[in-house]
A and B are shown apart, each in its own frame.
Chain A
């Protein structure tokens, strides 16, 4: 079976991201999964076990300071060269900012079609995308070149299929044009032990109704009890209650968790765009007419400052 390349995403501290394990799971349906590590020296070794656990038969290790030190372009060059050499059946990346950017560059380099934000991919290359705030389902296909696809986190349930991957070192040859955008600094901002927003199976989000940055502690407390991530509506972000990287919606993150809890969020179409495909939706809002109730599997009409503390206490009791 032909190889399916999976571009590995990893975080400094947490290692291989969940979305990569999902991509490996998906790749197994399409061919023989091969993981591509594009990172600094030593990264492939650090990720090998995890990648093997999810069925990576092979690891292409492209490791160099040059990959880490510049924005995206070196990764795209190395990946495009690898694609030309191994002629895979498909190439899968995470539908993250960087995943899309790498895919975009590779598409231009190889004059190959690219599909982003894919939620399902069939063996014949037919991809499913959900567009327009989750209102429309689109089936599409790359018609020139191989399926070059970025897949949304939480589209596939990752399942282990342990194997021992072979590791092949890939020579990193980048041009001067790949080194035009230099990363001078990487700054980690407070995050704690919470799972990443797009990968979390539970997301608890707060909106304008939460009222202040201070009050967001209540949202965090509920999220932590459920092992979830914290999200925010744009109104909450714009009001300075919570940082922008946690914004859910049209111009923020798209999340698709098992459970989404919306606290003090009205449910504007642009917010729904980012959470509409969640499995179960729960809402607390004091306005019985709030549109969020139209999509909530369970809604409580009430004051979140009464309902949420009581819920927190009840969960503690049950633990």
Chain B
């Protein structure tokens, strides 16, 4: 089973993140850039499938030059190779355009399975897997907390607000995973060394047959008009429990009319 894992580089969600004041895009220069956390679970799932069923695992990313760091990190976990779509014209791409580009690359790679994270921590859009499935005309099994494979049949458990759904499809398919699905491995020293030698192919828009006018700021279907920092919340009353903390808490709730 040949698998493409989608990996996105994002600014670390544990540190301060900003949008640029000039063009409202994510400020990558001032950020600590990491692999989107959920994508590590996608990589782990792909590697587990490879261990059980064979085939090749390819990391696919669309992002600036600096995303090579995320690619090496991804490869150090074990995938065989990577494809990096990088093109200056991609700056400012919206989700609709990004899905067009990723879909074109996936078509060229022609995998049995595409695995990605359920959402990215920068955008939290959660739309990519269905956008890709729509473009590729293949099944989307999204929000998986469990994935089982029998022959060419895929079955997931999808968490819902009420419980979960069991959903099934045949390959080829896109599967998106939550962080409940597995425990990603840490790259070994050997893995890190090996990653340096693994093939990373770069693709431009021309390689994918996509016109620059369809992507980036030029082809965007939505635009950020402005952004501002939200005034930080300030702490209010803080008391130390001296045996009546619970009562004081309820007094506060009462003044706020919650009890």
Q: State the A residues within 8 Å of B (CB).
A: 11-12, 71-73, 76, 96-97, 100-101, 103-105, 107-109, 111-117, 126, 130-145, 177, 180-189, 191, 196-198, 202, 226, 244-245, 250-251, 258-259, 268-270, 273, 276, 280-282, 284, 288, 293-303, 306-315, 318-319
- Nearest residue (CB) in A for B251 is A314
Q: How far is the CA of A93 from the CA of B161 in the complex (A)?
A: 16
Residue B106 at the chain A interface, CB threshold 8 Å: no
Among B16-49, those with CB < 8 Å from A are 16-19, 24, 37-38
Q: How far is the CA of A97 from the CA of B221 in the complex (A)?
A: 21
Residues from chain B with Cβ under 8 Å of A307 in the complex: 241, 245-246, 249
Q: How far is the CA of A135 from the CA of B38 in the complex (A)?
A: 21
Is there an interface contact between B140 and A73, defined as CB atoms closer than 8 Å? yes
- Nearest residue (CB) in A for B220 is A143
Residue B9 at the chain A interface, CB threshold 8 Å: no
**A-B contacts, 11 listed (Cβ < 8 Å):** A97-B142, A104-B134, A115-B222, A138-B24, A140-B224, A182-B169, A186-B164, A191-B163, A245-B159, A295-B234, A309-B246
**Which of B68-76, B77-85, B91-99, B194-202 lies at the interface with chain A?**
B91-99
Size of the chain B interface, CB-CB below 8 angstroms = 89
Q: Mark B118-131, 1 if CB is under 8 A from A, else 0.
A: 01011111111111
A90 to chain B, nearest CB (A): 13
Residues from chain A with Cβ under 8 Å of B14 in the complex: 268-270
Residue B180 at the chain A interface, CB threshold 8 Å: yes
> Of B129, B133, B252, which one neighbours A298 at CB under 8 angstroms?
B252
Residues from chain B with Cβ under 8 Å of A104 in the complex: 95, 99, 125-128, 130-131, 134
Residues from chain B with Cβ under 8 Å of A142 in the complex: 221-222
Q: How far is the CA of A197 from the CA of B173 in the complex (A)?
A: 31
A245 to chain B, nearest CB (A): 6
> Of B128, B220, B239, which one neighbours A301 at CB under 8 angstroms?
B239
Residues from chain B with Cβ under 8 Å of A139 in the complex: 224-227
Residue B193 at the chain A interface, CB threshold 8 Å: no
Residue B209 at the chain A interface, CB threshold 8 Å: no
Is there an interface contact between A11 and B162, defined as CB atoms closer than 8 Å? yes
Q: State the B residues within 8 Å of A (CB).
A: 13-19, 24, 37-38, 94-96, 99, 119, 121-131, 133-135, 137-143, 145, 155, 158-170, 173, 178-180, 220-230, 232-241, 244-250, 252-254, 256, 258-259
- Nearest residue (CB) in B for A187 is B163
Is there an interface contact between B167 and A302, defined as CB atoms closer than 8 Å? no
Residues from chain B with Cβ under 8 Å of A301 in the complex: 238-241
Chain B CB count within 10 A is highest, among A72, A108, A111, A258, for A108
A278 to chain B, nearest CB (A): 9
Q: How far is the CA of A177 from the CA of B252 in the complex (A)?
A: 56
- The 3 closest A-B CB pairs, nearest first, are A310-B246, A302-B241, A104-B127
Is there an interface contact between B258 and A259, defined as CB atoms closer than 8 Å? yes
**What is the predominant secondary structure among interface residues of chain A facing chain B?**
mixed
**What is the predominant secondary structure among interface residues of chain B facing chain A?**
mixed
> Of B125, B170, B225, B254, which one neighbours A140 at CB under 8 angstroms?
B225
> Of B17, B125, B138, which one neighbours A116 at CB under 8 angstroms?
B125
Residues from chain A with Cβ under 8 Å of B170 in the complex: 180
Residues from chain B with Cβ under 8 Å of A198 in the complex: 161
Is there an interface contact between B241 and A300, defined as CB atoms closer than 8 Å? yes
> Of B127, B159, B223, which one neighbours A114 at CB under 8 angstroms?
B127
- Nearest residue (CB) in B for A177 is B137
Is there an interface contact between B246 and A306, defined as CB atoms closer than 8 Å? yes
Is there an interface contact between A186 and B163, defined as CB atoms closer than 8 Å? yes
Q: How far is the CA of A12 from the CA of B162 in the complex (A)?
A: 9
Is there an interface contact between B96 and A111, defined as CB atoms closer than 8 Å? yes
Is there an interface contact between A113 and B238, defined as CB atoms closer than 8 Å? no
Residues from chain A with Cβ under 8 Å of B256 in the complex: 259, 280
> Of B94, B179, B254, which one neighbours A113 at CB under 8 angstroms?
B94
- Nearest residue (CB) in B for A100 is B126
Residues from chain A with Cβ under 8 Å of B124 in the complex: 116-117, 131
A239 to chain B, nearest CB (A): 13
With A107-B127, A107-B131, A244-B159 in contact, is A97–B143 under 8 Å at CB?
yes
A97 to chain B, nearest CB (A): 6
Residues from chain B with Cβ under 8 Å of A185 in the complex: 165-166
- Nearest residue (CB) in A for B225 is A139
A139 to chain B, nearest CB (A): 5
Q: How far is the CA of A131 from the CA of B230 in the complex (A)?
A: 10
Q: A312-B246, A314-B246 are in contact. List 9 more A-B contacts (CB 8 A).
A: A108-B134, A131-B122, A138-B227, A180-B169, A259-B258, A282-B253, A297-B236, A307-B241, A318-B259
> Of B24, B165, B252, which one neighbours A282 at CB under 8 angstroms?
B252
